[in-house]
């Protein structure tokens, strides 16, 4: 025998066992169907793109993390998100699309991060975006939380909150405080409030702005009350800055229409601390938290941006979108025992042969499949104990056993693997029994 | 404005418009569900693997075509098929799996081929394999054509043939002719018979073997008749070689059980010219042809192999599997006008607002979605003509129009975009109408 290579999966790459994969796929399917309900159309762009296209905007961390390589004369890279490929796509196929253009894409992206618990180098993102041609109504910003709400409801979550803010309110407020130049830095600090607490935010702010300004900022981000009360308090601040006024008006519209799109008040909240990244978003921003696991961070985020295609085209294309990081979500749900994969199965029946007369076995499997069931057969030369051990291992609920007596009497033995009960009956009756379980 | 980067998709990468993507996804889903019917479990291995793992076996063309690159100290590569990752997976997770192990994987693989019409560098493969631990019953070889048959039936094909052969019959026959050393070369030539015709095969064979041997070979591969007649003729050749006898026995079993697994005789055929690659397959081999488009080549191929994991483990793991190259299949079906994407849609209704009172619009969309329909809204500040043009472009069948009169009278106007008919009615009645269309 030649020397063997050790088979190993690279660190930072999620690879699941079949039962886990079944659950992962189920979640992916629910997300996809939820997106379709809102009229988003599927796209599937390549994983490899020309490096110059992917890096049109990138810089800093992205550039360091990107998988980039030469093949022949080509400078290639793996996509690190689904937004840049969307910008490319919308520019490239502009004439063939109709706007507002709603697309979803669910696919893997690649980031060469330092591998650590819960950080992946290959990760699924599930994105939706609505892209306007020149302009895009604010009503779209109010519809997005409805997509988030229904997606997470469909995934089986009850206790979660969609947090909403508007970047223009923050920007306008900083303009008013004459802190325009420091706005980015302040936002970056405020963004950490969930992680480091308000005392630490205050201290960090004191390093860069005056005490009086810090007080104003802290007062602002601590505005409390119901959504309506928050809006009233913002109005009462009587800030004349145009950006602020525009942002407040947008937030009011979004808060109003969210309800009409069917999101219960319990599931959304205006949160003035949410800033969401640094320079990408320009209006509405979203984050979503599991109420009992807020420390896990946002499980669905996004927002409004002014111009998707600015690096590729002179056309102005505003958009609004969100992303669910499915690989990370699956990891945190598993780690926190919020999902269990052990009973996942897509198999309805295992047909086990205990005779070498395989004709009946094959015909039985064929009949079961024709009735709509998912069926595996095991005709291997194995002891019956081993065959049942396999059945246990794959968590199949129904086993049909075909031995010599069954063949002779034209019946099958059906075993319920959960109760352990076993009975001999006509195939037709076994099918009904299985289907009614 | 800064200089723009030209957005371009790399040559050899399929990128579809939404209506095309919808059809592509539909086909992918049908294939997946067909595979599940036979109890295959989903896997989703990483696209990037350690180069040493992927290249354990590779050589020649594979090594030249592979996308291989360094990231930090790591020597990485993109998978070029789904079989090598399966071998890795089965070795790595052996203890957690139950055998025979049935898995499907549908995913992208990467080959840096010269781009040319119909050749892709990023392509979807849809694979199933059944892996045995030590041994694997021949009955599995007979079940695989049933998967092929049902998958293509479910995809809407009628007129196709699954061609079956057994490599042992070919190998045994060459042993009998004392041509063992030239078997590989001869098989390679025979494999081309569909492409170059039997006269050219004959001429190429004459270059390497004696005329009398060529006559025997040509006689052998031209054995005619029904499947039963072919088997009878093979038996009558009275070849005593053990490999031949074993292969013939296997072929007989496969041909017998194929029928019991529900494959009509019209859809399968013993074809002694099929050799399927050079050294990978060791027993049963499969190819599948559209009868009217045989020149397009096999659309689903595979076979039996002795040892999936030989480069990673001392354990012997025989298997049998097939693969559908979905990207290529989609391409040839489109090129030959065998599928039409223009009417594909997943959208049921487009709600168009003709008033700035968006409340009713939002509530209407929400009601429609609650009833199970997929709904887009268009509340943009566009002329009605433009909105209808968009509706045409996305091929939506139902448009609901909400103007001031509709709001006032608590009704909606429903337009059938195919017939052009338009009527004003209660939302509830509109929903029923749409659902019954």
Nearest Cα neighbor of B343 from B24, B27, B19, B18 is: B19
In tens digits, chain B (437 residues) has pLDDT values of 467 899 999 999 999 999 999 999 999 999 999 999 999 999 999 999 999 999 987 667 778 899 999 998 899 999 999 999 999 999 999 999 999 999 999 999 999 988 788 889 999 999 999 999 999 999 999 999 999 999 999 999 999 999 999 999 999 999 999 998 888 889 889 888 878 889 999 999 999 999 999 999 999 988 999 999 999 999 999 999 999 999 999 999 999 999 999 999 999 999 998 887 667 899 999 999 999 998 888 999 999 999 999 999 999 999 999 999 999 999 999 999 998 877 788 999 999 999 988 999 999 999 999 999 999 999 998 899 999 998 998 899 999 999 999 999 999 999 999 999 999 999 999 999 999 98
The number of residues making up chain B comes to 437
Provide, as residue numbers in chain B, all residues whose Cβ is less than 8 Å from the Cβ of A314.
1, 4
Task: Give dist(CA B396, CA A311) in Å, integer.
Answer: 32
Q: What is the pLDDT of residue B2?
A: 62
Q: What is the pTM of this model?
A: 0.96
A320 pLDDT more than 90: yes
Inter-chain touch B132–A380, beta carbons under 8 Å: yes
Banded pLDDT at A120 (limits 50, 70, 90): very high
Backbone angles phi and psi of B6, in degrees to 5: -75, 120
Q: Which residues pair with B391 in a beta bridge?
A: none
Q: What is the pLDDT of residue A1?
A: 47
Give the minimum alpha-carbon distance from B257 to chain A in angstroms, rounded to a whole number: 7
User: Which residues of A, range 324-383, sit inside 8 Å of B by Cβ?
Assistant: 346-347, 350, 358-359, 361-363, 365-366, 369-370, 373-381
> Percentage of residues in chain A with pLDDT exceeding 70?
98
The answer to whether B197 contacts chain A (CB < 8 Å) is: no
Best interface-test mutation with A: which of B10, B58, B74, B98 has the largest number of A CBs within 10 A? Answer: B98
Q: Tell me the torsion sign for CA atoms B74, B80, B83, B84.
A: negative
The answer to whether A236 contacts chain B (CB < 8 Å) is: no
Specify whether the CB–CB gap between A364 and B86 falls below 8 A: no
Specify whether the CB–CB gap between B65 and B78 falls below 8 A: no
Best interface-test mutation with B: which of A5, A47, A112 has the largest number of B CBs within 10 A? Answer: A5
Domains and CATH numbers, chain A: 18-45+82-335 (3.30.930.10), 349-436 (3.40.50.800)
Q: What is the pLDDT of residue A278?
A: 60
Give the minimum alpha-carbon distance from A193 to chain B in angstroms, rounded to a whole number: 34
Q: What is the pLDDT of residue A59?
A: 66
Separate counts of helices (H) and strands (E) for chain A: 16, 16
A-B Cβ pairs (cutoff 8 Å, strict): 272
Q: Is A281 helix (H, G, I), strand (E, B) or coil?
A: coil
Q: What is the pLDDT of residue A57?
A: 78
Q: Summarize the confidence of residues A179-184 as an average pLDDT.
A: 88
Provide, as residue numbers in chain A, all residues whose Cβ is less than 8 Å from the Cβ of B92.
7-9
Q: Is A397 helix (H, G, I), strand (E, B) or coil?
A: coil
Q: Which residue of A has its CA nearest to B263?
A: A366
Nearest Cα neighbor of A366 from B139, B105, B108, B182 is: B139
Nearest to B5 among A45, A52, A146 (CB): A52
Nearest to B49 among A10, A42, A370 (CB): A10
Q: What is the pLDDT of residue B296?
A: 87
């Amino acid at each position: 025998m030649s020397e063997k290579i050790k088979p190993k999966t690279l660190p930072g790459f999620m690879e699941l066992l079949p039962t886990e994969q079944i659950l992962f796929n189920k979640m992916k399917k629910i997300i996809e169907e939820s997106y379709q309900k809102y009229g988003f159309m599927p796209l599937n762009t390549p994983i490899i793109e020309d490096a110059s296209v992917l890096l049109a905007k990138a810089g800093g961390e992205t550039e360091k993390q990107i998988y980039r390589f030469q093949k022949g004369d080509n400078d290639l890279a793996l996509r690190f998100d689904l937004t840049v490929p969307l910008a490319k796509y919308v520019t490239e196929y502009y004439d063939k699309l109709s706007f507002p253009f709603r697309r979803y894409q669910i696919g893997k992206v690649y980031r060469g991060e330092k591998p650590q618990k819960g950080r992946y180098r290959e990760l699924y993102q599930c994105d939706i975006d609505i892209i306007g041609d020149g302009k895009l109504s604010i009503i779209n910003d109010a519809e997005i939380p409805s997509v988030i709400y229904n997606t997470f409801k469909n995934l089986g979550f009850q206790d979660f909150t969609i947090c909403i803010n508007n970047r223009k309110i923050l920007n306008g407020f900083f303009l008013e405080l004459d802190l325009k130049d420091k706005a980015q830095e302040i936002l970056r600090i405020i963004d950490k409030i969930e992680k480091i607490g308000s005392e630490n935010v205050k201290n960090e702010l004191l390093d860069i702005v005056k005490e009086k300004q810090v007080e104003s900022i802290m007062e602002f981000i601590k505005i409390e009350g119901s959504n309506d009360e928050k809006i009233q308090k913002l109005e009462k601040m009587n800030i004349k800055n145009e950006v602020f006024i525009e942002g407040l008006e947008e937030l009011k519209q979004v808060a109003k229409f969210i309800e009409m799109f069917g999101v219960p008040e319990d599931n959304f909240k205006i949160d003035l601390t949410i800033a969401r990244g640094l320079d990408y978003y320009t209006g509405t921003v979203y984050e979503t938290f599991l109420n009992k696991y807020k420390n896990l961070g946002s499980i669905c985020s996004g927002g409004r941006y002014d111009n998707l295609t600015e690096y590729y085209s002179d056309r102005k294309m505003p958009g609004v979108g969100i992303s669910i990081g499915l690989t990370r979500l699956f990891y945190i749900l598993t780690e926190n025992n919020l999902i269990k994969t052990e009973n996942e199965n897509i198999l309805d029946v295992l047909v086990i042969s205990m005779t070498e007369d395989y004709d009946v076995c094959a015909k039985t499997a064929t009949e079961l499949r024709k009735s709509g069931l998912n069926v595996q057969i095991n005709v291997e030369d194995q002891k019956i104990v081993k065959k049942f051990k396999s059945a246990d291992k794959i968590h199949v609920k129904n086993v049909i056993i075909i031995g010599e007596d069954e063949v002779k009497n034209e019946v099958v033995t059906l075993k319920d693997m959960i109760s352990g009960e076993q009975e001999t009956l006509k195939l037709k009756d076994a099918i009904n029994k299985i289907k009614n379980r």
